[in-house]
Amino acid sequence: MNIHTSSEQNESQGTVSVSLKGIPTDQGQALKEVAKARDINQSALLREMVNASMGSIIHVFCLKSPLVASLDQDIAQYNGSLVLPAWNAAPPAPQFEAAYRDLLGIRTEDDLTRILLRNAQYLRMRTSQVMPRGQQFYGGTALYFALFCDVARRDDQTIEAFWASIARFWGQWYRRQDYYQQINQLRSVLDLDPAERLYQARAKGVYSQAEIFEGEDGEKGLRQVLLTLRTENTRALPADAIQLFTLPICNGHILTPDPGYGAPLIFPNNVLGMGFRFREESCSLHCYSVEAPQIGDTQTLTEVAVELVRYVDEPLKAYASTIPVNML
């Protein structure tokens, strides 16, 4: 491959000319056919391909930084994983690249280096949050983990903006409550106050608290619910005391546990129904709401949150007489 700097200049930077040799015949033919289909010449097609991968400061840094490679190996050793070549990973989409750079003030590779060094000690925690043990991952993951850790350091507006512009596109399985839970785990280690979540209703009891959020897709009447245990009060309880709880009946609302959080429950009248359970101190549900004169007044979301908390607290309140609790 031959490279030389072109005398042609644009407004911001020079250009280089690159000559490629040794491309296999079938791949050269594929380039020719794709260029023809796009109605552009092969040089323009190659230029687009290079710009797509080499135009990302984040991706290029992942490819060439020895610090990123070293931290990738540390993650792999910690998690019993194998690092796949960074070159095989796709660069972030342009809109995500722009969001990263804007939200975190990334202008140069020095900025990325500072973010890496500032968050290196928290990468193992981030690994534990999202990566199953033994899972293979692409080189460059350490940088993306560091970027997330850096978001956790920022103000509430930046944290919410990162969710809106980047994190919510990571998959339907990844919910706002998951995001904020991970953010606040990191903020706890960083000795920072929890980030405020944008919830529609909230209730706090002795042994649990409930938060109700607008559904991510904006569907009318659909909301997400996050129940979390107050571990300072539940840690000393017997394990079987917090295994299974009854769902409250709230007029105008249907509560359904998300997969993994539901469990069959036999009621005192020998009727089989659905209950809910906590996993890793949290429980996720969906709330379907409707307002119609046929059913009477629909309870408010705050009333729903209060009922959820009450249905956790009520069967546990007897323990408060023997096991001290924090009422704040």
Contact in structure between 29 and 18 (CB atoms under 8 Å): no
Question: CB pairs under 8 A, 24+ apart, for 196-200?
Answer: 196/156, 198/160, 200/301
Mean pLDDT value across residues 160-182: 87
pLDDT > 80? residue 198:
no
For 282-314, write each residue's pLDDT tens digit. Answer: 899 999 999 999 999 999 999 999 999 999 999
Q: At what angle do helices 156-165 and 176-189 cross, to 10 degrees?
A: 140
What is the structure's pLDDT at 11? 46
pLDDT for res 221:
87
- The answer to whether residue 5 scores a pLDDT higher than 50 is no
pLDDT category of residue 13 using cuts at 50, 70 and 90: low
Q: How many other C-beta atoms lie within 10 A of the C-beta of residue 167?
A: 22
Lowest mean pLDDT of 30-34, 106-110, 188-192, 257-261, name the range. 30-34
The answer, yes or no, to whether residue 43 has pLDDT greater than 50, is yes
Query: pLDDT at position 299, please?
Result: 92
pLDDT tens digits along 72-94: 999 999 999 999 999 888 889 88
Distance (Å, whole) CA 230 – CA 207: 5
Confidence of residue 27 (pLDDT cuts 50, 70, 90): confident
pLDDT confidence of residue 2: 45
Using pLDDT thresholds of 50, 70 and 90, give the confidence band for residue 55.
Answer: low
Q: How confident is the prediction for the chain on average, in pLDDT?
A: 87
- Which pLDDT score, from 0 to 100, does residue 7 have? 40
**CA dist., res. 298 & res. 102, Å (int):** 43
Examine the pLDDT at 63 and tell me if it is beyond 90: yes
> Mean pLDDT over residues 84-105, rounded?
92
At residue 8, the pLDDT reads: 44
- Give which of 189, 190, 76 is closest to 141, Cα–Cα: 76
Q: Please state, for a pLDDT cut of 70, what percent of the chain lies above it.
A: 88
More confident residue, 48 or 256: 256
CB atoms closer than 10 angstroms to residue 12: 5
pLDDT interval class at 173 (50, 70, 90): confident
pLDDT for residue 145: 98
The residue ranking higher by pLDDT, 219 or 319, is 319
Q: β-strand 253-257 against 245-246: which pairing, if any?
A: unpaired
% of the chain beyond a pLDDT of 90: 60
Residue 256 vs residue 16, higher pLDDT: 256
d(CA 261, CA 54): 44
- Mean pLDDT comparison of 48-62, 171-185, 220-234, highest-scoring range: 220-234
Judge whether residue 167 has pLDDT over 70: yes
CB 223 within 8 A of CB 302: no
Alpha-helical (H) ranges within the chain are 25-38, 42-54, 57-64, 66-79, 94-104, 109-119, 123-130, 141-152, 156-165, 176-189, 231-234, 301-313
pTM of the model: 0.64
Q: Can you tell me the distance from the alpha carbon of 169 to that of 217, in angstroms, rounded to the nearest whole number?
A: 11
